Structure 1
Amino acid sequence: MKIRAYAKVNLALDVVRKREDGYHDLEMIMAPITLHDLIYINVIDEGIEIESNSKIVPTDQRNIMYKVAKLMQERYGLKKGVKIFVYKHIPTQAGLAGGSADGAAVIKAMNKLFHLNLSYEEMAALGKEIGADIPFCIYEKTAFVEGVGEKLHFIEEPFEAYLLLVKPKKGVSTKKAFTTLDLSKVIHQDCRAMKKGIEEKDYQTVIDNLQNTLELPSIKMVPQIKEIKKEMKELGFDGALMSGSGSCVFGITRDQEILNKGYEFFRKRYFFVRKSKILNKEENL
């Protein structure tokens, strides 16, 4: 069985507060994008086997796909195993939820392969036990997201935009980005303004409300993030923002010429450069 695992970008990310359990309360606008990993998964007699085209992806119990497969085997008493091959297109430590997307895809694939008949809500709840971004990746729909990432309020209006993704070679550890964030210096914007902009098809309001609290600590670790943003704006992109905890930056435009010009400008200068766009799927949920 073949399944696509779609990446995401954060059009807005506000770290609201640190919680007593050590996690952070967030408010975000998350959107799926067309960049994806390809996952091939088949039923085998026993165990969990993972292979990849990437040499840096762990293929043992550290891998999110392994964790969700193991959880599903135990939870539903599955007697057979799975063999997974993941063809990675989504870079690691980029803020694009590559690992979570792969985990969500495996949940959906195993749901079909083993005829579990789980609903999207049940698959999302299962995924939440492994990673905070997995519920979003189960649905693959633009959403206003709260909590640690588990409270999803879907935005039904499609949002059309091209994205240029540029990632420096050095990634950012999500844990380190959060631990070095000084919340006393953060300027909080209301993500609901962007939600309203998308719902009212007001592109400029979306652009005006691009924001990411985690940019400051991540830029300290990878200064190229700031340089890429500046260059994108000089090239004519309507906005530029780091996604998640970084280090990938996306430029946003509705002009395909600007997208292509940006691609030619960046492609020989940085580790990862891809053209993409917001994914608007007519999904029967």
Structure 2
Amino acid sequence: MSTQHAFEMLLKSALVQQRVDVFDRDADMSFGFDKCVNLCTERLQVSTQEAGFLRMLAKLRDAEQHWYGVVSEGILYTCMRAAVTLFDELLRRAFSESLAKHLPDRILPISTYPPKHIQALIDEEFRQVQELLRPGKRHGAEARGRIRTLLAIQALEIEEFRISERDIDKFEQGVRKGEGRADLLPNLSTVGTEVSGEGINVTVHFTKTQGAPVRWAGGDDAAAAVKVEDLWNKFHWTRGKLAAKLGLSTGYAAALRWKLGIDDDESCHMHRFHNRTRIDGYSDNAFRKMKEVMTAPGFDIRAIYQEYRFRNSI
């Protein structure tokens, strides 16, 4: 929990350093952790793998704060060592400072458990869950805590998802039916760790490795107990609301979206049909791109609108 909070403060301070607003004026509060991660991928060159690690850390924090999670010493060590590595890298990237400058002189980490590759740790955890759920055992609570941790690690590979009690139930039922790790955790087959250095210079990175091909199962057929968040939570701006937020007429907003290619950008726009009616949704990324252009020197929405009308009349 403390590590996730430390990262949130680091990301927000790094964004402020880049003169990026981290305060939601409408909600009268600062942005949440996930939104800060998304902003940092755009402004601070946070990679996809780094963002995945930060999302996983947030899921593990949520499990500890709001539910009951069981994290083995091996997974805890790997995650925390990777966290120290990433924190140092982000601190250097944003402020040109080393984490070592901010740590006390005397640190004595002691462990009788040698670090292992993340795939070996995941296998061990899955076997432990199987053992805890054997007939006659009464360790369901601990098993579910370990299941929640395994599911949280999938945030490394899946950008937006949530874990519900129903998902835990389905995973538990799958284990009791004899389903294997590949069936219940297909998204973790490509997760790896890269360890370099030794002694005080050791670093740990989570990486993406080649794994078996995976297909998504739909609806209640999905055994992997992963639910992708409703994308309409991300693409929550309608055309009218987006224009109003920007202080533009719908016509001017349409012209600006056309000029920037917003409707063709999958990170900015999506649509669906309901009874033959097309419904368009726009993300905060679309709002930011349009807002940035509007504040740039020489911006002329009337000229863009005239160009838009001329192109559409051809």
TM-score category (smaller protein): under 0.3
Instruction: Give the number of the structure with larger relative contact order, counting CA–CA contacts within 8 Å between residues 6 or more apart.
Output: 1
The structure where helix makes up a greater share of residues is 2
Structure in which a larger fraction of residues adopt strand = 1
Which structure: larger Rg? Answer: 2
